[in-house]
């Protein structure tokens, strides 16, 4: 048997199997089992004319065979993660970055390199993505629309349609096939951070670019930052050109950890999703909870509005950690109006239906009964400690008033 094919995943295999084997198909031929981590920043060049030609190719966003030449051009460990993620998203290629925001930035710059600086976007988006678009920090102009208004907002200079579904933080869902049809020739970028390719593969619906904050579910343990865009090879070349010239690289150790994360992604997402479904049902039946949003496609996140003070609920939790970010092994809860979506202004929050009573819970791999016990105690504590006048409590906005600073949001 050819050892090269020993562990090569193929379309015959299920998603779970490909998640374990993708990016590792040459390991048997290399005579190793764990993925090698290449930390080189530079590489010995024995063929100088060949290296010069390869450098031209790298500058054009290509991936020539042979030496990586320099750590900013490509890295073998990171490439394994890119190939694996591309395969799981059903795309030709993927390009990894230092963070999710670096991936968003490169995507916007890629559109701008075609002279297309106008973006059409649907709220809500992750707060810093919204902020990056609204602030014009990258020289882009954004038109915010509802999901039905995309086609009407397109202009000749529109370079990107940007959406999240399920969206951060409300978990609002969008019809991707309809959005792709409305976008027409304009690339549709879908931030798939919350769904992961386990639950949704946007390219199957016509999305040209599929973005992840890899910091979340792909890494899965709260200990690695990264971003990645899965797309066609043509778009990948432009993204690589931008990465080459701007330097927002994924570190090789992060590439290793993200590839390792992919192997357990289906198991983690399905387990957390089952627990989250149960907890969402229990929350919906609880008198201390006014509204629950749990996506129709499932997932580990729950958005819910409490009757009392959300700060008191969070403060009374003992097992669930109050923290931004999501998608790890342990459960995290946060108050979007104070944290992830604080950087956007009141009208943007109102448009995205990000109310003062909203909490976002990322369910981890703990047992659902332990998580529910923690939540039930916290909800009861907030009901006891809360105002005697429920109408006054409801009307009160516990969100601390903002200072005039540019950016402050975590993930």
Ligand X SMILES: Cc1ncc(COP(=O)(O)O)c(C=O)c1O
**Token digits of residue 341:** 């979506």
Is 362 an interacting residue with respect to ligand X (CB under 6 A)?
no
Binding mask 179-198 for ligand X (x = CB under 6 A): ------------x-x-----
- Minimum distance, C-beta of residue 284 to ligand X, in the bound complex (Å): 24
Which helix (H) or strand (E) segment holds residue 164: the answer is strand 158-164
Closest to ligand X by CB, 77 vs 128, is 128
CB of 106 to ligand X, least distance (A): 12
Are residues 115 and 267 in contact, defined by beta-carbon separation less than 8 angstroms? no
Chain position carrying tokens 């040459």: 26
As measured in angstroms, the least distance from the Cβ of 54 to ligand X is 30
Q: Does 74 bind ligand X (CB under 6 A)?
A: no
Q: Are 123 and 130 in contact (CB under 8 A)?
A: yes
Measured CA angle at 158 (ends 154, 163), to 5 deg: 80
Question: What is the edge-to-edge ordering of all strands in the sheet holding 118-122?
Answer: 93-97, 227-231, 209-213, 188-191, 158-164, 118-122, 141-145
Nearest residue (CB) to ligand X, 9 versus 166? 166
Burial of 346 (0-12, 13-18, 19+ CB in 10 A): exposed
Cα–Cα distance between 84 and 379 in angstroms, integer? 42
Q: Which of residues 216-235 bind ligand X (CB under 6 A)?
A: 225, 227
The reply to whether 101 sits near ligand X by the rule CB under 6 A is yes
Phi and psi angles of residue 28, each rounded to the nearest 5 degrees, phi first: -60, -40
Distance CA 339, CA 146 (A): 24
- 10 Å CB burial of residue 11 (0-12, 13-18, 19+) is exposed
DSSP code at position 70? B
**Dist CA 123 CA 349 (whole Å):** 9
> Structure tokens of 14?
């299920």
Residue 255, interface with ligand X (CB under 6 A)? no
User: Taking CB under 6 A as the rule, which mask of x and - marks residues 119-158 in contact with ligand X?
Assistant: -------x--x-----------------------------
Residues composing the chain: 411
Smallest distance from the beta carbon of 406 to ligand X, in angstroms?
A: 16
Smallest gap from Cβ 408 to ligand X, in A, equals 13
Tell whether residue 299 is a contact of ligand X (CB under 6 A): no
Q: Is 165 in the site for ligand X (CB under 6 A)?
A: no
Question: Which of 117, 360 has the CB closer to ligand X?
Answer: 360
Strands (E), 151-300: 158-164, 188-191, 209-213, 227-231, 289-293
In the region spanning residues 302 to 341, those forming contacts with ligand X, defined by CB under 6 A, are none
Q: Within a 13 Å sphere around the CA of 389, how many CA atoms are in the beta-carbon half? A: 4
Q: Which stretch binds ligand X (CB under 6 A): 99-107, 132-140, 228-236, 350-358?
A: 99-107
Tell me which residues are annotated as active site. Answer: 72, 126, 191, 216
Task: Assess contact for 163 and 122: CB atoms under 8 A.
Answer: yes
Given the complex with ligand X, which of 168 and 241 has the nearer CB atom?
168
168 scored as a contact of ligand X (CB under 6 A): yes
For CA atoms 211, 216, 221, 222, give the dihedral sign. Answer: positive
Considering beta carbons, is residue 217 or 304 the nearer one to ligand X? 217
Binding pattern to ligand X, positions 28-67, x when CB under 6 A? ----------------------------------------
Nearer of residues 54 and 265 to ligand X, judged by Cβ: 265
- 215 near ligand X, rule: CB under 6 A: yes
Choose the stretch contacting ligand X; rule: CB under 6 A; options: 31-39, 93-101, 269-277, 400-408. 93-101
> Which residues would be at the binding site for ligand X (CB under 6 A)?
99-101, 126, 129, 164, 168, 191, 193, 213, 215, 225, 227, 411
């Amino acid at each position: 048997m050819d050892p090269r094919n020993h562990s090569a995943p193929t379309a015959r295999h299920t998603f779970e199997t490909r998640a374990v084997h993708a990016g590792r198909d040459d390991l048997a031929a290399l005579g190793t089992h764990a993925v090698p981590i290449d930390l080189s920043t530079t590489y010995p060049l024995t063929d100088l004319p060949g290296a010069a030609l390869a450098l031209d190719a790298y500058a054009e966003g290509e991936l020539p065979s042979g030496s990586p030449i320099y750590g900013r051009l490509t890295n073998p460990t990171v490439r394994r993660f890119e190939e694996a993620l591309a395969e799981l998203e059903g795309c030709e290629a993927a390009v990894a970055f230092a963070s999710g925001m670096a991936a968003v930035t490169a995507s916007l710059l890629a559109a701008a390199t075609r002279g297309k600086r106008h973006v059409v976007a649907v709220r809500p988006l992750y707060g810093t993505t919204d902020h990056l678009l609204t602030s014009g920090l990258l020289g882009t102009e954004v038109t915010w629309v509802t999901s039905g208004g995309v086609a009407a907002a397109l202009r000749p200079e529109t370079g990107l349609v940007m959406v999240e579904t399920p969206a951060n933080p409300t978990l609002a869902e969008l019809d991707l096939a309809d959005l792709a049809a409305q976008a027409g020739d304009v690339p549709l970028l879908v931030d798939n951070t919350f769904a992961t390719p386990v639950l949704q593969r946007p390219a199957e619906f016509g999305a040209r670019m599929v973005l992840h904050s890899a910091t979340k579910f792909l890494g899965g343990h709260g200990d690695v930052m990264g971003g990645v865009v899965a797309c066609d090879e043509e778009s990948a070349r432009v993204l690589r050109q931008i990465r080459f010239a701007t330097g927002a690289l994924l570190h090789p150790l992060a590439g290793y950890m993200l590839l390792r994360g992919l192997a357990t992604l289906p198991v983690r997402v399905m387990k957390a999703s089952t627990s989250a479904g149960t907890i969402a049902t229990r929350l919906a039946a609880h008198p201390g909870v006014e509204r629950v949003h749990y996506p129709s496609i499932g997932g580990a996140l729950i958005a819910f509005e409490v009757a009392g003070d959300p700060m008191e609920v969070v403060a009374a939790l003992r097992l669930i950690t109050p923290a931004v970010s999501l998608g790890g092994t342990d459960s995290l809860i946060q108050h979007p109006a104070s944290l992830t979506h604080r950087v956007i202004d009141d009208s943007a929050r109102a448009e995205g239906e990000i109310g003062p009573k909203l909490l976002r819970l990322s369910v981890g791999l703990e047992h659902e009964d332990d998580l529910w016990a923690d939540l039930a105690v916290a909800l009861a504590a907030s009901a006891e400690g809360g105002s005697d006048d429920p109408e006054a409590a409801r009307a009160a906005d516990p969100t601390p008033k903002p200072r005039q600073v540019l950016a402050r949001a975590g993930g």
